[in-house]
Every structure is written in structure tokens, then in C-alpha cells.
Amino acid sequence: MNFKYVVVFGCSYSTDKYPKGAIKGETYGDIIAKHFGAECINLAQSGTGIQSLHRKFFEWSSENKHKLKDSLIILGVPPFERLEMWSNISKNYFKMGHHKWNTDEYASPKTIIDRIFTAWPLKERKNYFKNFYDSNQIFIQTTNLLVGLQSFLNLNKVNHIFFDSIWSIHDNDEGSGSYKKPSYWSDVKFNKQHYKDLISKDNWYPLVMQTWLSKDKTLWIGNGNDQHPNPKAHKLWANKLLTFLESK
């Protein structure tokens, strides 16, 4: 088994740009790439959701089709409720998680989000959320995006690993604090069969990264105050993924 590229997609648990976290050369993606003598291409970004992960993967793949056969694709799957939306103001996508719909807290003055929120005031956003957002439907839609990713990777015989970054539908751990499963999680469980019937677990590493991290504060950044992985955690996680890959 040999690769020229290790390409990482995901959220803050995978990126090399999280404040005080692992930097370029220290992430699990870098360590796995070094193991194979490959180049690490880290396209993970803090706050990324499944919609964004899906879009970025296909953008990269369309521009680098010639690299796919020599690549190991790693997808650290974030929570499904993190959405992204297109803005005609910024002419770009912006991240809009479930918790940001009904507040202006994140609209810091002079930022693009402030400009977007000014054009789309709080009352209108709340009405949009009330009329068009449903956690069950978002769950089904994002499940379908994951099915599309798996189908593409399998059809093109691209080596890949999926894992859950923060929590999983198959994980009984409810989490705690800011990492606690959302209040609407019980509603989503009604669609568990939809997920179970369509998502292949063949290349899905079974351990949830955040659940694993929560059990050992020495793996956290900021002297144990932030449950994001520190360089030590990235190294251990890389070894886990390598063991999983070699078992396939």
C-alpha cells in the first residue's frame, strides 16, 4: 500500500489552523503522510459541516482527478446540523450552524458576517428558521451527501477512511458541556434506519474522536481547557487510523 497524497477534509479536529492546536507538520494527516512518504493536503477548516465537506471534496476532486488513484482520502465527519449558505453579498459560502440562526452574537462589526446579517436581519432569519429548518430533514439530506461521497470513492476505487469527529448516530455517549448532543437529537433517532441502510461502515473507523478525547485531558489543548486535539492526540490518532487502514 502506497500513496503520493494524503488529503484531509473535516473540521477543527482535523485542521492545522486551529488556534493553539496542532500546526502544519503535527496533525494526524501530516503524520500519516510522512508514514507513506506522501504529501499532506489539509483542506479541513474549523466549523465545517457535512455540506461544506461534501462541496470541498468535489471541488478538489474535479481539479485533481489525476491525483485520486494515488491518494488516501481522510474525512473527519462533523455534526450534521452545521450548515453553509451562499451569500450574494460576499459572493461566497459562509458557515451558519444551528446555534447561530437566532443571534447576532457572531456578527462582529466590520466582518462579512456583519454585512450579511445586516442585510438579513434577526427577525427574518428567525422566520426562515421557523418555516424551513427541520432537524430530521437536514439529517436525511446530509446522510444522502455522505452516501454520494462513499459512492464516488468506491466507484473510482479511491482509498479512503471516514470517522466521526464529534458525535455519531451509533455512539451512545451523550457528551457534556459544549460537546453534548443537541436537544433535538432524540428526534433524529427516528431516521436512524435511513442512515443504517445507506451508509457503509466498511471504511468507517468506529471510534468517535471527541468521545476518545474526553477521557484524557492530556490530549486536549490549552492545558486541558479545550477538548480539541493537541499534537500528542494527533499522533495517537494517526496511529489508530494507520492500524485501521492496514487491517483492511
Cell numbers linked to 96: 451558519
Cell numbers linked to 44: 479541513
Q: Is 66 helix (H, G, I), strand (E, B) or coil?
A: helix
- Alpha-carbon distances of 152 from 14, 145, 147, 233, rounded to whole Å: 22, 11, 9, 30
For residues 83, 87, 91, 93, the Cα torsion angle rounded to the nearest 10 degrees is -10
Cell numbers linked to 23: 500546526
Q: How far apart are CA 48 and CA 98, in angstroms?
A: 12
Given phi > 0 = left and psi -120 to 50 = alpha, else beta, which region is 210? alpha
pTM above 0.85, yes or no: yes
Per-residue pLDDT of the chain (248 residues), as tens digits, is 899 999 999 999 999 999 888 999 999 999 999 999 999 999 999 989 999 999 999 999 999 999 999 999 999 999 888 889 999 999 999 888 655 777 887 777 888 888 888 899 999 988 998 898 888 888 889 999 999 999 999 999 999 999 999 887 666 666 655 666 666 666 666 567 778 888 999 999 999 999 899 899 999 998 778 999 999 999 999 999 999 999 98
